[in-house]
Structure 1
Amino acid sequence: MIQVYHNSRCGKSRECLISLEKSGQEYEIIKYLDDVPTFDEMKVIIQKLQIKPIELVRVKEKIWIEKFKNLTMTDDEIIQAMVANPILVERPIVINGNKAVVARPLEKMNSIL
């Protein structure tokens, strides 16, 4: 089943759900701000995305700028920062089996459906 890591306050994330609803595909919503992925779960998500952890970070978020921007961090430290501060995670993340995308722009989602 398709999984969507969703933030209801994010317009792009809401658009993603509307698009999935229209597609008729079954999906599961994961409200990652409430149900925060563990370190290991985040590592798996990043592996499926085939990106470096820093590419999943919302680097313009106030928390990132104030706490992490000028630090030299390992990939594991970046993942730990996202687990401790899930607002830093770019969204929406759409996972279908072993494939995943950050659906920005929304059309990226089509490549894994």
Structure 2
Amino acid sequence: MSEPVTIWHNPRCMKSRGALTLLEERGVTPQIRRYLDDAPSRAELEQMLTLLGTDDPLAITRTGEALFRELGLKGADRDTLLDALAEHPKLIERPIVIRGAHAVVARPPELAVDLLD
């Protein structure tokens, strides 16, 4: 594979572990970014949305997370959501798999494999 693969990974998440396993079973050794320990900047989040082909931060937001409710983010505007994601990486959906100029939120994990084709 010519383009490197990166996974924004949370090893405590079953879906994230599943996506990583599927990639490895296909001979892909992705760069692993533990985004909870190495939080993406707002600029990186903006870039991720571009790679995902959307402008909506809700595409990468864990809206079911208690913190989402605690911060009163339901109905929040784009800037507020991006600021919250940058400040609280726990709110970022996982896993996100990146290859070249494309990315997928790998839920279900099999979506990570689709990115390889």
**Correspondence 1:1-113 to 2 at 5 A:** 1-51=4-54, 52-70=56-74, 72-113=75-116
Q: TM-score with structure 2 length normalisation?
A: 0.90
| Greater helix fraction, Structure 1 or Structure 2 | 1
Q: TM-score with structure 1 length normalisation?
A: 0.93
Following TM superposition, the consecutive aligned residue runs of length 4 or more in structure 1 with deviations greater than 6 angstroms are none
CA distance, structure 2, for counterparts of residue 69 and residue 78 of structure 1: 7
CA RMSD of aligned residues (A): 1.2
Unpaired segments of 5 or more residues in structure 2?
Answer: none
Aligned length: 112
| Residue identity in the other structure for 1:103 | A
Unpaired segments of 5 or more residues in structure 1?
Answer: none
